[in-house]
């Protein structure tokens, strides 16, 4: 196995020496350590395969390798074969062949085969004359050309890979720093080679410790990047389901008031609001604030007060067990609490036009997908929708796109967009609003290439070239898992308080003598806040307010237990 000599450091440039003769290997490492050990890490190996294994591990950990020094005559894999294979992992590393006088012809040939930088004759004594001058020159050349290694998370994928896009969005929305590498670029291919992958399975997520996750789930990624996915306890005072503005507001107020609080989020805190490029009508931010900034601050605030936040955990079931309210996860595990606040928010309604489903993540995105906006630079972008989220995306994308076209089914934007945002859209010369227009088909092989549009007043259709389509069309509550437990309206939104009315009676009636609290659902001790509530305002400020108000009712409920 490869051996490290000198003090451990994963940030000092590495010099690798490979020789199958243990005594020679130790001698080379000794001379290298004596001259370069203070500023470099010396790694020695006694076979080409073991050295390649070490190089792959170092590549995945983001360690810089400056020089590869390999003996020519080695069994199983000779020095030239090793250096040729090493080029796929560390193409910038300087390559040196150690050879006997009889093999100088092979060394000269290797200059063309593996772009050899130099060869050294054995023995190299004295090193001050025959070894160090050569390496000094190579190290200087390497320092001038080698790019800095990246020590954050690396994501290797394809531009038009739906899952690659989802993983990038998951990391970005959870504010986990990462670096993106396309498989079409040299460094992306080098990382895949280090991970032992050929690019058929994407994405590959490489963590700072050198681990490689191939086609990982969000939960697998969350566990490896330090996001909490496992509850610390079995029972809480309050479970908040959903990490949008309403859920974060509930977590902040619940934890700050001494309740043992856990928030469960299936993707990333912030919800739909967290994807907004700029929110300008939220109280206290006259210059606006991005959804990601607002969500990040709220998350830190909740954690500061002691709330526990679980990420990438999907809730699939809910049961009432006496005074306990039990929540079931997709993996079958459960946690329980005295009270629950449902703040699951809504999802964007999906277009059912032919070709749309096949191209999701490959040019078609629901929501803003801010990680994809760099690729929109200089491109024609289409946006479906006429509410605030669509307007915010249009204004944001117009800064870099060649053009932005908003496709709106209605007569104008006034029915669903705030006045201040309409003014911004109308004043932006890069944005065009097409009313009475809908998408009836999407076309493309591995990514979006064209759209078929229809004028809803005349029925006329036209085909336009398009590589980017962002969809913001209405809201669908994700409440099917509550069927038969909590009363919902005809559209799936949760009824609460006085809105329960006859629907609550049809579901079996309110079981207590007291009337339900304002945000209390048909199940006592279970409250609802934010966009998932029937007839809610669908605004960030109102969602935060409902989250905090729900905690007030939680206290009233707990006082009666």
Place of tokens 């080029």: 87
Q: How many CB atoms lie within 10 A of CB 163?
A: 16
For residue 4, pLDDT beyond 80: no
Dist CA 43 CA 51 (whole Å): 9
What proportion of the chain, given as a percentage, has pLDDT over 70? 94
User: 357-473 has which CATH code?
Assistant: 3.50.50.60
DSSP letter assigned to residue 103? G
d(CA 435, CA 426): 13
Task: Output the average pLDDT for the chain.
Answer: 91
What does the alpha-carbon distance between residue 251 and residue 114 come to, in Å, rounded to a whole number? 59
3-class secondary structure, 149 = coil
Architecture of domain 235-347+476-559: 3-Layer(bba) Sandwich (3.50)
Question: In 3D, which of 515, 443, 15, 121 has the Cα closest to residue 6?
Answer: 15
pLDDT at 197 over 50: yes
Q: Write out the H or E segment, with its range, that includes residue 338.
A: strand 334-342
Give domain 153-225's CATH architecture.
3-Layer(aba) Sandwich (3.40)
Does the global pTM surpass 0.95? no
318-332 pLDDT, tens digit each = 999 999 999 999 999
Q: Using CA atoms, how far apart are residues 407 and 427, in angstroms rounded to an integer?
A: 17
The region, left, alpha or beta by phi > 0 then psi within -120 to 50, assigned to residue 319 is beta
Task: Give yes or no for residue 478 having a pLDDT over 70.
Answer: yes
Which residues are CB-neighbours of 246 under 8 A, at least 6 positions away?
341, 343, 345, 529, 530, 531, 543, 544, 546, 547, 550
> 414: pLDDT confidence band, cut at 50, 70 and 90?
very high
Is the separation of the CB atoms in 25 and 44 below 8 Å?
yes
- 139-143, 494-498, 540-544: least confidently modelled range: 139-143
How does pLDDT run across 28-82, given as a tens digit for each residue?
999 999 999 999 999 999 999 999 999 999 999 889 999 999 998 898 899 989 9
Q: Where are the domains of the chain?
A: 3-145, 153-225, 235-347+476-559, 357-473
Average the pLDDT over 91-110 and give the result. 79
- Which pLDDT does position 152 carry in this prediction? 82
Q: Tell me if 238 sits within 8 A of 339, measured CB to CB.
A: yes
Confidence of residue 190 (pLDDT cuts 50, 70, 90): very high
- Say whether pLDDT at 437 is over 80: yes
Topology given in CATH for the domain delimited by 3-145: Rossmann fold (3.40.50)
CA distance 507 to 500: 10
In which band, very low, low, confident or very high, does the pLDDT at 504 lie, cut at 50, 70 and 90?
A: low
Give the Cα separation of 537 and 543 in Å (integer): 8
Instruction: Say whether pLDDT at 500 is over 50.
Output: yes
Range in 467-476, 503-512, 541-550 with the lowest mean pLDDT: 503-512
Higher-pLDDT residue of 426 and 152 is 426
Q: Reply yes or no on whether the pLDDT at 368 is more than 80.
A: no
Q: Which residue has the higher pLDDT, 375 or 129?
A: 129
Does this chain's domain 235-347+476-559 share its CATH topology with 357-473? Answer: yes
Residue 455: its pLDDT value, please? 97
What letter would DSSP give residue 494?
Answer: B
pLDDT above 50 (res 7): no
């Amino acid at each position: 196995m490869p051996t490290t000599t000198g003090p451990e450091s994963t940030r000092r440039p590495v010099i690798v020496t490979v020789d199958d003769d243990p005594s020679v290997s130790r001698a080379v490492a000794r001379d290298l350590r004596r001259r370069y050990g203070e500023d470099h890490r010396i790694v020695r190996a006694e076979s080409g395969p073991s050295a390649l294994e070490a190089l792959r591990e170092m590549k995945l950990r983001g360690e810089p390798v400056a020089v590869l020094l390999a003996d020519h005559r080695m069994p199983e894999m000779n020095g030239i074969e090793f250096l040729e294979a090493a080029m796929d992992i560390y193409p910038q590393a300087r390559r040196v062949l150690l050879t006997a006088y009889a093999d100088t012809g092979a060394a000269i040939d290797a200059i063309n085969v593996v772009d050899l930088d130099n060869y050294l004759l054995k023995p190299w004594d004295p090193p001050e004359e025959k070894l160090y001058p050569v390496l000094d020159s190579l190290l200087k050349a390497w320092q001038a050309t080698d790019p800095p290694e990246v020590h954050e998370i690396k994501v290797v994928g394809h531009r038009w890979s739906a899952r690659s896009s989802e993983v990038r969005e998951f990391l970005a929305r959870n504010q986990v720093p990462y670096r993106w590498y396309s498989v079409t670029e040299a460094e992306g291919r080098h990382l895949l080679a280090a991970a032992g992958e050929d690019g058929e399975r994407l994405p590959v997520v490489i963590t700072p410790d050198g681990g490689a996750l191939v086609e990982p789930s969000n939960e697998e990624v969350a566990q490896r990047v330090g996001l909490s996915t496992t509850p610390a306890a079995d029972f809480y005072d309050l479970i908040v389901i959903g990490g949008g503005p309403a859920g974060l507001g509930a977590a902040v107020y619940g934890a700050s008031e001494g309740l043992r609080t856990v928030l469960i989020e299936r993707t990333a805190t912030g919800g739909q609001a967290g994807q907004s490029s700029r929110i300008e009508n939220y109280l206290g931010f006259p210059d606006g604030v991005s959804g990601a900034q607002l969500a990040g601050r709220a998350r830190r605030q909740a954690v500061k007060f002691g709330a526990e936040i679980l990420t990438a955990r999907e809730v699939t079931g809910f049961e009432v067990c006496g005074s306990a309210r039990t929540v079931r996860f997709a993996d079958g595990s459960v946690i329980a609490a005295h009270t629950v606040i449902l703040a699951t928010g809504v999802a964007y309604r999906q277009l059912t036009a032919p070709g749309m489903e096949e191209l999701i993540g490959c040019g078609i995105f629901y929501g803003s997908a801010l990680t994809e906006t760099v690729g929109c630079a200089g491109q024609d972008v289409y946006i479906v929708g006429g509410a605030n989220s669509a307007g915010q995306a249009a204004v944001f994308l117009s800064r870099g796109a060649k053009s932005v076209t908003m496709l709106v089914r209605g007569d104008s934007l006034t029915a669903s967009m705030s006045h201040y945002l309409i003014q911004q859209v109308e004043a932006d010369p890069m944005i065009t609003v097409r009313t009475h227009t809908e998408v009836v088909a999407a076309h493309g092989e591995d990514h979006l290439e064209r759209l078929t549009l229809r004028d809803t007043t005349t029925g006329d259709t036209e085909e336009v070239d398009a590589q980017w389509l962002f969809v913001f069309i209405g809201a669908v509550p994700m409440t099917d898992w509550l069927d038969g437990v909590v009363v919902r309206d005809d559209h799936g939104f949760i009824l609460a308080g006085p809105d329960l009315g006859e629907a609550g009676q049809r579901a079996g009636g309110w079981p207590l003598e007291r009337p339900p609290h304002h945000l209390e659902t048909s199940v006592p001790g279970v409250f609802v806040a934010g966009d998932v509530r029937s007839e809610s305002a669908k605004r960030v400020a109102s969602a935060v307010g409902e989250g905090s108000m729900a905690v007030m009712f939680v206290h009233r409920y707990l006082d009666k237990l």
